[in-house]
Amino acid sequence: MRVTEKGQVTIPKNVRRKLGIVPGSEVEFSLQDDVAIMRPAPPADANLEVANFMDHIRRHKGSMDLGGMTGDEFFRLLRD
């Protein structure tokens, strides 16, 4: 993919279709180590705290060791 003098790139059609990106859509970029990540921007009226929390959950999904407990057992432990 080539970058223009203005720093623009063309998002491939299959990627736009999969992410629901249409003309006028807002996107956001972030960096993870040396990888650039582009994703559709959350709607302007979305609760930013919830969006950030969900992003955190997605990034860490499957990384917690529950020591053999089920999810229900773990949450019961948290509530008690």
Query: Tens of pLDDT along 2-45?
Result: 999 999 999 999 999 999 899 888 899 999 999 999 999 877 66
pLDDT score, position 47: 65
How far apart (Å, rounded) are the C-alpha atoms in residues 20 and 34? Answer: 25
Fill in the amino acid letter for 77: L
Domains of the chain: 1-41 (2.10.260), 45-80 (no CATH)
Query: Tens of pLDDT along 51-64?
Result: 788 888 888 888 88
Do residues 29 and 37 lie in contact, with contact meaning Cβ atoms separated by under 8 Å?
yes
